[in-house]
């Protein structure tokens, strides 16, 4: 009798993409004894690569070969080290999003992959000793919706019922109840056993929003952001994949959480530039949210009082559904008073009118916000003899004077040095400080109002973990009378006790060398003004050297439509987004001569290689700040629509330029939100 034949051995080979700048997959071998679950396309695996013992990669293809395969094309195969649990598998709408991002931003898929998993997948959560600050909540049931709020909710409900993708711009004045629409839309998704994702522009907004959402949605809510320990981020990731978490809040990184059957994505304050990542992969979370929602058959709600001009154009053209909330259900839009600094000189940065208004608010036991978008005590330390200011040795930036601790600090690279007693340029004694910042404003207010309790919210006071949440919580609970801050005080906060906002330099930023400068200035003025008048009538004081500037006057009457049409007319004349698409080609390096040569070569390649279909190439030109962190920076702007072939060609050009010019980095930034 013949023995039973032994089945031939087979080797399972996996094609794995890795987070490296190579547009290819690498072949690894899967041993039969590795785990009981079969390996699947979409799994995350840990593999050796080069000198690194483990790199997290994505399985994109599998195939079996008869026999024991030791090498392919003469290269010895390495084994897959481990397979991560199914919770980390990239599939469905997330896989479609990954593939789209790789194509749209002209990157190898592996360079996009780290967005889709925590930094160390599988890390166990450690017990945290940190207690989250408590924010006051209304404690009331859901209010009755206005007609416009109900209309917005109806749009989302229809999309949920039909399991269909659609996008809605909720354009509402500050305090008009956009958050209530978000909460109702999420409740509708949960009622249909679907999940929801809420994107916020910054971590500073997360704690107060979390408190409001937990009040209404209870334990269905989880928060995810880069400030959390790795173990906590893994816990949220795994719980979402298991269906244990239904709602996730967080900044742009939360977009990639593996929520099941996604029904609603909210992008709050959708105009914020922080939704655009400024390092590779340079994606925009608002755009990516629309793509993921389309793949998932989900509804997207974009909310803002000051929509990004591109979003506004899409809504006006019918690409997005538009619902406008023009009134506040409670309170009213504040009265804005404009102080002409040409006629009324300021004392320590404060006009007589603003000091009077602050005194009146404090006398009524109400709260005040003072906004000044400059950190530190003084903008510069300058010599009275030669006129030179003390510069950062690594950047083309004047160092800012800080008092606590007393240092000169670069706000771009972090360089600091002691305050010199003599001018570093000419040796003359006692350079003097000029300009001001939030630290100086805080001290001036303490001098003017010695009995007032003052808090400051800026990058310097929020360096420690949880500090921003603690400051906001203290102020929201009435633990301070005045909150001084930079942009961090302007965005999305709900402080019913505030009846006065003072803006010390309303024209600050209007003339920055960036085509979006006026749009950003209008948005900031409108947003910070909206922090008052939430319950009682509120007042805003704009101090400005340009009281008749169209941006200042439009913001003073909360007139977004007039501003948007004026700005769009200007963009049309000069052919800038949203009239055309734009790509920024950036070139950086330590040697100026190499950067200049590479930038010139890049511009020549782009001009010669791209077809003329209305494409315009500007530059190369030095960046606004030519040297940052000891690296020189040049940029080339490409205006026009670029298809898949053009993007692939550009990516190949970047690789060629890097090979030819070692030590110089060349980057592609599609749809930049600002210029260097």
CATH at 625: 3.30.70.600
Residue that the structure tokens 């056993």 belong to = 193
Whether residue 356 is found in the same domain as residue 504: yes
d(CA 307, CA 480): 32
Cα distance between residue 164 and residue 166, in whole Å: 6
Together in a domain, 558 and 598:
no
Tell me if 502 sits within 8 A of 371, measured CB to CB. Answer: yes
406: in domain: no
Same domain, 160 and 29: no
Question: CA 212, CA 47: separation in Å to the nearest integer?
Answer: 43
| Gap between the Cα atoms of 6 and 104, Å rounded | 50
In a domain, 131, yes or no: no
**Neighbouring C-beta atoms of residue 176, cutoff 10 Å:** 25
Q: Quick one: 460 and 530 in the same domain?
A: yes
Structure tokens at 407: 């240092």
For 456-535, where are the alpha helices, taking DSSP H only?
467-476, 517-529
Instruction: Show the domain range for 238.
Output: 147-325
H or E element at residue 403: strand 400-403
Residue 155 has a pLDDT of: 97
Bridge partners of 423? none
Q: How many CB atoms lie within 10 A of CB 596?
A: 16
Say if residue 356 is in the same domain as residue 295: no
- Is 156 in the same domain as 294? yes
> In a 3-state reduction of DSSP, which class is residue 166?
strand
Specify whether 637 is located in the same domain as 562: no
Mark whether 539 and 610 lie in a shared domain.
Answer: no
- The helix, strand and coil proportions of the chain, stated in percent and rounded to the nearest 5, come to 30, 25, 40
The two beta strands, 299-304 and 631-639, are unpaired
Q: Residue 454, exposed/middle/buried by CB under 10 A (0-12, 13-18, 19+)?
A: middle
**How many Å apart are CA 526 and CA 523, to the nearest integer?**
5
- How many CA atoms does the CB half-sphere of 208 hold within 13 Å? 24
- 305 and 159 part of one domain: yes
Token pair 């921003």 is at which residue? Answer: 468
d(CA 181, CA 323): 11
Residue 557 and residue 588 share a domain: no
Residue 429 lies in a domain: no
If we measure between CA atoms, which residue out of 574, 629, 625, 632 comes closest to residue 598? 632
Joined together, the tokens standing for residue 48 give 């050796």
The answer to whether residue 106 sits within a structural domain is: no
Tokens of 204: 């500073």
Phi and psi, residue 40, nearest 5°: -125, 155
For residue 218, tell me if it sits in a domain: yes
Q: Which of 89, 106, 132 is the last residue of a domain?
A: 89
How many structural domains does the chain have? 4
Strand pairing of 400-403 and 616-628? unpaired
Residue 107 lies in a domain: no
Last residue of a domain, one of 545, 571, 597: 571
Which pLDDT belongs to residue 6? 46
354 plus 321 within the same structural domain = no
Q: What is the reported pTM?
A: 0.94
Q: What residue ranges of the chain have pLDDT lower than 50?
A: 1, 6, 127, 129
Token readout for 6 is 């032994």
Nearest-angstrom CA–CA distance, 541 and 197? 36
* Domain assignment of residue 277, yes or no: yes
Instruction: Report whether 595 contacts 634 (CB < 8 A).
Output: yes
Query: The tokens of 142 are what?
Result: 């859901």
Residue among 457, 480, 481 at smallest CA distance from 469: 457
What residues does 342 pair with on adjacent strands? Answer: none
Question: Do 201 and 268 fall within a single domain?
Answer: yes
Q: In this structure, is residue 421 part of a structural domain?
A: no
Query: Residue 216 belongs to a domain with what CATH number?
Result: 3.40.50.300
């Amino acid at each position: 009798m013949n023995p039973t034949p032994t089945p031939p051995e087979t080797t399972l080979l996996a094609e794995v993409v890795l987070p490296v700048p190579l547009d290819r997959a690498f072949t690894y071998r899967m041993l039969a004894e590795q785990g009981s679950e079969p390996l699947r396309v979409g799994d995350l695996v840990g593999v050796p690569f080069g000198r690194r013992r483990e790199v997290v990669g994505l399985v994109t293809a599998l195939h079996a070969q008869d026999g024991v395969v030791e090498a392919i094309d003469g290269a010895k195969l390495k084994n897959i080290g481990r397979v991560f649990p199914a919770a980390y598998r990239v599939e469905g709408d997330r896989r479609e999003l990954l593939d789209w991002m790789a194509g749209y931003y002209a990157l190898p898929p592996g360079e996009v992959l780290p967005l889709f998993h925590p930094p160390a997948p599988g890390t166990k959560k450690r017990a945290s000793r940190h207690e989250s600050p408590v924010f006051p909540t209304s404690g009331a049931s859901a209010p009755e919706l206005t007609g416009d709020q109900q209309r917005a909710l109806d749009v989302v409900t229809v999309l949920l019922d039909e399991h269909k993708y659609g996008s809605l711009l909720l354009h509402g004045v500050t305090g008009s109840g956009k958050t209530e629409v978000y909460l109702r839309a999420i409740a509708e998704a949960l009622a249909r056993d679907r999940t929801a994702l809420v994107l916020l522009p910054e971590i500073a907004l997360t704690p107060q929003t979390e408190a409001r959402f937990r009040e209404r949605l209870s334990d269905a809510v989880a928060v995810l952001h880069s400030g959390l320990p790795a173990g906590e981020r893994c816990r949220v990731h795994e719980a979402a994949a298991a269906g244990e978490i239904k709602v996730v809040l967080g900044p742009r990184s939360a977009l990639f959480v593996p929520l099941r059957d996604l029904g609603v994505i909210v992008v709050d304050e959708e105009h914020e530039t922080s939704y655009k990542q400024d390092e590779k992969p340079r994606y925009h979370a608002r755009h990516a949210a629309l793509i993921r929602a389309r793949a998932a058959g989900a509804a997207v709600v974009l909310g803002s009082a000051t929509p990004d001009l591109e979003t506004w154009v899409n809504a006006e053209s019918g690409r997005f559904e538009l619902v406008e909330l023009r009134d506040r259900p409670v309170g009213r839009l504040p009265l804005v008073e404009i102080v002409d600094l040409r006629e009324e000189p300021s004392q320590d940065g404060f006009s007589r009118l603003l000091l009077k208004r602050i005194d009146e608010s404090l006398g009524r036991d109400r709260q005040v916000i003072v906004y000044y978008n400059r950190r530190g005590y003084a903008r510069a330390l300058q010599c009275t003899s030669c006129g030179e200011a003390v510069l950062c040795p690594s950047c083309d930036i004047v160092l800012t004077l800080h008092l606590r601790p007393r240092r000169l600090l670069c706000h771009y690279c972090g360089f600091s040095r002691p305050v010199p007693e003599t001018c570093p340029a000419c040796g003359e004694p006692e350079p003097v400080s000029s300009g001001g910042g939030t630290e100086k404003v805080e001290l001036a207010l303490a001098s003017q109002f010695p009995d007032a309790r003052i808090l400051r919210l800026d990058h310097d006071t929020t360096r420690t973990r949880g500090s921003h949440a603690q400051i906001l919580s203290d102020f929201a609970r009435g633990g301070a009378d005045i909150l001084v801050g930079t942009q961090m005080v302007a965005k999305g906060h709900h402080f019913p006790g505030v009846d006065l906002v003072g803006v010390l330099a309303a024209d600050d930023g209007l003339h920055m060398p960036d085509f979006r400068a006026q749009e950003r200035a209008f948005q900031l003025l409108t947003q910070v003004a909206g922090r008052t008048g939430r319950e009682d009538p509120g007042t805003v004081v704009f101090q400005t050297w340009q009281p008749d500037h169209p941006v200042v006057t439009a913001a003073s009457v909360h007139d977004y439509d007039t501003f948007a049409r004026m700005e769009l007319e200007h963009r049309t004349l000069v052919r800038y987004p949203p009239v055309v698409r734009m790509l920024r080609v950036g070139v950086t390096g330590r040697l100026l001569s190499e950067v200049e040569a590479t930038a010139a070569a890049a511009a020549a390649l782009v001009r010669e290689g791209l077809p003329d279909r209305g494409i315009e190439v500007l530059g190369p030109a030095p960046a606004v700040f030519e040297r940052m962190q000891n690296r020189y920076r040049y940029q080339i702007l490409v205006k026009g629509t670029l298809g898949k072939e053009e993007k692939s060609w550009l990516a190949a050009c970047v690789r060629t330029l890097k090979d030819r010019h070692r030590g110089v980095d060349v980057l592609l930034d599609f749809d930049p939100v600002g210029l260097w």
